């Protein structure tokens, strides 16, 4: 895993050909979650560059330590980082870098304890909601416009998913009415799905220790499946019911499977790990 680092956001724009300098004619595609709309790192945008691409920096923001990626929907950019010693989910104006809201990721912790671990997961934006998963195991649903908390779950204390020296790094995955995470909990709470509107548990399954990989959705034949790369290997489940469809063991020395699986249609997956 990468170590915590001070985040520097810089928006770099491609210089379009002279005939396309009117930005009002350029339609961008939202990037609402880790690795984009389909979690494959592929953007459908075209026409960004002329024959000789050039770049100019539009704005720059110095933020705190963190390894969270960026999610962009419309003119809003969502991420997570440490600010004044505490972890926050943050929304910035994508046009100028101004902070629109900043919400601590402590959730409803009655102890008032601050969450100071460097964030690793990337926010997932779904309409009026944004889902964030802190390195400390707090899973929150926030209003995407104002940052107010709609609901929260304490994954460590509720589902016994503490793991010595390990933080949480998987980004939430929204599928229809549910939001899925790799919880790494005991007693059948390794993989979990929650009702995305109220945070109630929809299903839970598995006993694998967690890695850091974010799940994806893939369709093989006629079967949609949520594919997780846990600390013990690949596991595919029915995303709406949690029924295990298949498993592929992939054991490494420290169970540190962090890379997101790559789906290669029609029926293959590419996986890799930094620890042999």
User: What pTM value is reported for the model?
Assistant: 0.88
Q: Please tell me the predicted confidence (pLDDT) of residue 128.
A: 97
DSSP 3-state of 263: strand
d(CA 24, CA 126): 25
d(CA 93, CA 45): 21
Q: Please tell me the predicted confidence (pLDDT) of residue 115.
A: 58
DSSP 3-state of 4: coil
Q: What are the residue boundaries of the structural domains of the chain, listed by start?
A: 1-171, 174-276
Q: Please tell me the predicted confidence (pLDDT) of residue 28.
A: 67
Give the burial class of 188: count Cβ atoms within 10 A of its Cβ; 0-12 exposed, 13-18 middle, 19 or more buried.
Answer: middle
Kindly report the number of other CB atoms within 10 A of residue 214's CB atom: 28
CB 255 within 8 A of CB 231: yes
CB 103 within 8 A of CB 95: no
Nearest residue to 196 via CA among 175, 216, 177: 177
- Output the CATH code of domain 1-171: 2.40.128.630
Which residues, 6 or more positions from 179, have their beta carbon under 8 angstroms from its beta carbon? Answer: 124, 126, 131, 141, 172, 173, 193, 194, 196
Q: Please tell me the predicted confidence (pLDDT) of residue 2.
A: 40
DSSP line for 70-109:
-EEETTEEEEEEEETTEEEEEEEETTT--EEEEEETT-S-
CB 258 within 8 A of CB 169: yes
Kindly report the number of other CB atoms within 10 A of residue 157's CB atom: 12
Q: Over its length of 276 residues, how does the chain's per-residue pLDDT go in tens digits?
A: 344 455 566 555 443 333 333 444 455 689 999 999 999 999 888 777 777 777 788 889 888 899 999 999 999 999 999 998 899 999 999 999 999 999 999 865 555 555 567 899 999 999 999 999 999 999 999 999 999 999 999 999 999 987 766 789 999 999 999 999 999 999 999 999 999 999 999 999 999 988 899 999 999 999 999 999 999 999 999 999 999 999 999 988 777 899 999 999 999 999 998 754
* CATH fold for the domain made of 174-276: Thrombin, subunit H (2.40.10)
């Amino acid at each position: 895993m990468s170590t915590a680092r001070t985040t520097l956001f810089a928006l770099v724009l491609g210089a379009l050909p002279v005939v396309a300098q009117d930005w009002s004619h350029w339609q961008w595609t939202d990037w609402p979650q880790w690795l984009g709309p389909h979690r494959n790192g592929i953007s459908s945008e075209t026409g960004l560059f002329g024959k000789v691409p050039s770049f100019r920096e539009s704005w720059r923001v110095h933020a705190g330590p963190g390894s969270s990626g960026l999610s962009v929907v419309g003119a809003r950019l969502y991420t997570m980082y440490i600010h004044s010693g505490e972890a926050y989910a943050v929304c910035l104006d994508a046009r100028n870098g101004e902070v629109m809201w900043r919400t601590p990721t402590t959730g409803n912790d009655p102890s008032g304890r601050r969450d100071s671990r460097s964030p690793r997961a990337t926010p997932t934006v779904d309409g009026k909601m944004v889902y964030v998963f802190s390195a400390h195991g707090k899973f929150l649903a926030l209003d995407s416009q104002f940052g107010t908390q709609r609901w929260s779950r304490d994954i460590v204390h509720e589902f016994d998913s503490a793991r010595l020296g390990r933080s949480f790094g998987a980004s939430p995955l929204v599928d229809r009415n549910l939001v899925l995470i790799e919880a790494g909990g005991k007693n059948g709470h390794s993989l979990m799905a929650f009702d995305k509107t109220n945070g109630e548990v929809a299903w839970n399954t598995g006993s694998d220790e967690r890695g850091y990989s974010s799940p994806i959705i893939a369709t093989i034949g006629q079967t949609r499946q949520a594919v997780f790369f846990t600390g013990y290997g690949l596991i595919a489940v029915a995303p709406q019911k949690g029924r295990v469809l298949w498993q592929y063991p992939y054991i490494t020395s420290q169970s540190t499977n962090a890379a997101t699986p790559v789906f290669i249609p029609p029926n293959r997956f590419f996986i890799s790990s930094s620890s042999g």
